[in-house]
Amino acid sequence: MKSIYKALGLISMLTIGISGAQAADTTWDFRSSNRDIVNTAPGYYGNSLTMNQDGVNLAISAWSDTYDISGPDKVESAYVTNNSYGLLAYNRNGGYSEQHYIDNYKDTDMLLFSFSDAVSLTSLKLGSYYNDSDISIAAFDSLPSLSGSTWAGVASQAIFSTSFTDVGYGSFDLTSVAKEAKYWIIGAYKNVFGAGNDHDYDKFKLLALTTHKSDEEPPVDVPAPATALLMLLSLGLLTMRKRHK
């Protein structure tokens, strides 16, 4: 019987080890008090904020279309920074009241999140918003072409895009976005990413983002539960036969 108990113990430990190998969610805190955030080229358009957590690297850059009454708005690099309420963007058409937020007043601001590994989005949290808090999200298999494009052109490169209305404060669930990607765009509402019903302009700061990375470790060659049970039964029978001899 001891042999059977040992076999049971080994299989139990192996099962626990396999289930524990699944990757947990990672929450990215974007407040300025987070000392793990590094600002590259601070003060310049085209800068980025970089972070590393749980073995995953993240680079965040800001992009905004240029309000132009003479023709289609073109996307250009903006300036991404953060304060105690989270991430915000400065676009090239300064002077409007949208500064210090991610917004869609005249110019539409978006943030590009570039991860070193493919992740899915679990939730996000706003640290501040004014007027309204509608957001658009898009996922990309490869780095999207942004500079000089339109938001419609960017949306056409996405493998998935959607919009959410009235996000508000607190943790906002994103598990319905059942996609994994290395590149994600999150920004103020733009109908080309998914139509909404709200026509107010949106202004918010992104406090946190929670992501999930699937377990990419190579599978362990372990018998299926039914096969393992048969092996245990066989072992038990063999043990009993030996005792009867």
> Tens of pLDDT along 83-142?
999 999 999 886 555 568 999 988 899 999 999 999 999 999 999 999 999 999 999 999
- CB 72, CB 150: distance < 8 Å: yes
Q: What is the percent of the chain with per-residue pLDDT over 90, rounded to a whole number?
A: 64
The identity of residue 45, as a single letter, is: Y
pLDDT at 72: 75
How many residues in the chain?
245
Please list, in sequence order, all residues whose beta carbon lies within 8 angstroms of the beta carbon of residue 16, skipping any fewer than 6 positions away. none
Which ranges of 26-179 would DSSP assign to H, the alpha helix?
151-155
The backbone region for 103, taken as left when phi is positive above 0, alpha when psi lies in -120 to 50, beta otherwise, is beta
Which tens digits make up the pLDDT trace of 136-191?
999 999 999 999 999 999 999 999 999 999 999 999 999 999 899 999 999 999 99
Look-up of token digits 């906002």: 172
Backbone angles phi, psi at 153, to 5 degrees: -65, -40
179-203 burial: b if 16+ Cβ within 10 Å, else e: bbbbbbbbbbbbebbbebeeeebbb
Q: At what angle do helices 225-244 and 2-20 cross, to 10 degrees?
A: 170
* pLDDT beyond 70 at 216: no
- CB 78, CB 89: distance < 8 Å: yes
Across residues 47-66, what is the average pLDDT?
Answer: 96
What is the chain's mean pLDDT, rounded? 83
